[in-house]
């Protein structure tokens, strides 16, 4: 797998295929021809080192070991049902992901802000012969992602880096996934620009995010979480954000404030491919 050096845009870094084979521990150093070096520890490729990006409080909590340990066990598998107030099991979410992404053997996909790599693992279960990279800045989350992927015998490249400056060349990926991360980003437009840069023409960007609540009590709760850095755009605001970043909406599915969006790169100006939101 070929990555782009975080320091030298024209320099590549070749990651051995063995790094993604999580049944065997891989440790070592990789570097570009320019000489910049990066460590691999227990199969986790670290492009950040000891310099984490500037974070909101919500992002900081993802750095806690306890958060990583409990994320899927206590929260993620039930979160959308709790948030929406309707039954929406995580298996239904994975089915929607696989349906819209339609992973194919030999193609390459990226799970951005992956946490414990729920989406990345689901894609590998759907198509074992595709290539998947799971990306996050949290070491504890990535360590938990490795454990879960290893238990499921899902081969993944696991990368610690900043999604605002992704270490990939343009048009690298056939599909991208962004599950819940959009609400936590301090600069969502920057990340979406990066998504547009690294995705291939015709590729799919799958996003799950939370919208602004309509009723009073949920609105008050969302307002109270503002100090943490979480944001909750309206459907109009989020769709305008996607448009500004250069994407068109190919499909969209909404259950209360939970919104799933399938995006494609603009082929021309305007939103001629935009589909209405439905629930």
Question: What's the whole-number average pLDDT of the chain?
Answer: 89
- pLDDT: is 229 or 14 the higher one? 14
* Cα distance between residue 189 and residue 117, in whole Å: 22
d(CA 74, CA 125): 22
What is the pLDDT averaged over residues 68-84?
85
Residues 6 or more apart from 47 whose CB is under 8 A from it?
A: 3, 6, 38, 159, 160, 161, 167
Q: How many angstroms separate the CA atoms of 98 and 188, rounded?
A: 24
Q: What is the pLDDT of residue 180?
A: 84
pLDDT for the residue numbered 247:
97
| Choice between 185 and 126, residue whose per-residue pLDDT is larger | 126
Residues β-bridged to residue 3: 13
Domain ranges within the chain, ordered by starting residue? 44-265
CATH architecture of the region 44-265: 3-Layer(aba) Sandwich (3.40)
pLDDT of residue 68: 84
- Judged against a pLDDT cut of 90, whether residue 240 lies above it is answered with yes
Return all residues near 117 (Cβ < 8 A) that are at least 6 apart.
111, 134, 145, 148, 149, 156, 158
Q: For residue 177, what pLDDT is reported?
A: 98
With vertex at residue 152, the alpha carbon angle to CA 146 and CA 157, rounded to the nearest 5 degrees, is 40
Structure tokens at 240: 């305008």
pLDDT digits (tens, 9 = 90+) for 263-273: 998 765 443 33
Residue 249: its H or E element: strand 247-255
Q: How far apart are CA 247 and CA 239, in angstroms?
A: 9
Is the pLDDT at 70 greater than 60? The verdict is yes
- Which pLDDT score is estimated for 84? 84
Between 132 and 49, name the one with better pLDDT. 132
Number of H helices, E strands in the chain: 9, 12
Instruction: Quick: pLDDT tens for 159-181.
Output: 999 999 999 999 999 999 999 88
- The structure's pTM equals 0.89
């Amino acid at each position: 797998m070929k990555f782009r050096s975080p320091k030298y845009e024209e320099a590549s870094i070749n990651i051995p295929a063995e790094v993604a084979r999580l049944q065997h521990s891989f440790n070592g150093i990789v570097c570009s021809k320019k000489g910049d070096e990066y460590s691999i520890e227990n199969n986790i490729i670290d492009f950040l080192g000891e310099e984490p990006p500037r974070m909101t409080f919500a992002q900081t909590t993802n750095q806690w070991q306890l958060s990583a340990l409990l994320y899927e066990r206590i929260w993620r598998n039930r979160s959308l049902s709790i948030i929406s107030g309707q039954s929406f099991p995580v298996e239904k979410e994975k089915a929607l992901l696989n349906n819209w992404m339609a992973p194919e053997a030999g193609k390459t996909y990226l799970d951005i802000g992956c946490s414990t790599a729920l989406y990345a693992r689901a894609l590998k279960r759907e198509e074992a012969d595709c290539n998947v990279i799971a990306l996050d800045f949290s070491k504890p989350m990535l360590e938990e992602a490795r454990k879960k992927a290893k238990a499921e015998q899902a081969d993944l490249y696991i990368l610690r880096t900043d999604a605002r400056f992704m270490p990939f060349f343009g048009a690298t990926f056939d599909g991208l996934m962004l599950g819940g991360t959009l609400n936590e980003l301090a600069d969502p437009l920057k990340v979406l620009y990066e998504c547009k840069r690294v995705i291939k023409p015709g590729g799919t960007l799958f996003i799950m995010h939370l919208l602004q609540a309509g009723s009073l009590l949920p609105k008050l709760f969302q307002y109270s979480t503002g100090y943490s850095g979480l944001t909750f755009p309206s459907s109009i605001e989020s769709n305008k954000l996607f448009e500004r970043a250069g994407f068109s909406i190919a499909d969209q599915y909404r259950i209360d404030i939970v919104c799933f969006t399938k995006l494609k790169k603009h082929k021309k100006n305007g939103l001629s491919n935009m589909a209405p939101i439905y629930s």
